Amino acid sequence: MSQKPTVAEYMTREVRTVSPDDTIGEVAQQIVENEGHNGFPVTNGRTVEGFVSARDLLLADAEAQIFTVMSDELIVAHPDMAITDVARVILRSGIQKLPVVNDAGNLVGIISNTDVVRSQIERATPGKVGKLMRTLEQIHDVELEEDRRMVRLDRLTPTQERVYADELEGRKYELENGLAEPLVVIDNDGELFLADGHHRVMAAEDIGLEEMDAYVVVLAERVELGMAKTAREAGLDSLSDVEIVDYARHPLVETTKRLQ
């Protein structure tokens, strides 16, 4: 339960790459056409030979080949590497993206500074699940167990009144790229309360998903949960009762504006 999150959990597995023999003009066009890409690993088969960024292409001859400008002094990550270690490497090196290679030296993904930040936001860590279980045991003096399974979204009772539109966009990206964290759900005698993951669930519903992976805390007997009372008082019966708040009203944005 104390295992640290790893690169394999957060890396992007489908990596767009270029060849050492591609021309600078061809790669520059790919950067223009592929939103969110400001550079690519340079590979020969599955072997990483370098990395080329948009900066490397500046003022270079469009007909020259990529191997003439790519960086071949690479820092790479391993799938089993802890996210905290990757964060240190990114911070100290200033590199925004690290190719991820396996024991055979083959490219299996890419991890970015954005992925590192994402790993710290709405993360359903085993520690978070364990803390919830200990809290329920102490408050209700009830036996419980943890289950990992798929849950239907239409069976979930939300316990949070609102989500923020800007965060939903990020969650949609994660879901569409297979990067979303499991939900945390409490099974109270068959009634499923969503304890963590409201933005993920709302994003999933918006793109038409019907079920999601979840850590499910199963109570041995039915108890009166505080979150159930809160949900009733807020009129939260289903996901349709959750309000989506515009980005401009996000409290962190308001705080930032006040500090300027």
Read off the pLDDT of residues 161-186 as tens digits, 9 standing for 90 and up.
998 887 888 888 888 877 778 899 99
Quick one: how far is CA 46 from the chain centroid?
Answer: 25
| pTM summary value | 0.59
Under the banding of pLDDT at 50, 70 and 90, the label for residue 121 is: low
Q: What is the pLDDT of residue 40?
A: 94
Q: What is the pLDDT of residue 92?
A: 85
Tokens standing for 153?
Answer: 């979204």
Tell me the pLDDT of the chain averaged across its residues.
Answer: 87
Q: What is the pLDDT of residue 258?
A: 45
Distances (CA, A) of 256 to 3, 169, 247, 249: 34, 20, 13, 12
Which segments within 8-159 are labelled E, that is strand? 39-44, 47-53, 97-101, 107-112, 144-152, 156-157
Query: Between 121 and 130, whose confidence is greater?
Result: 130
Under the banding of pLDDT at 50, 70 and 90, the label for residue 113 is: confident
Residues 6+ apart with CB under 8 A from 257: none
Mean pLDDT over 68-83 rounds to: 93
The CA distance from 107 to 43, in Å, is: 8
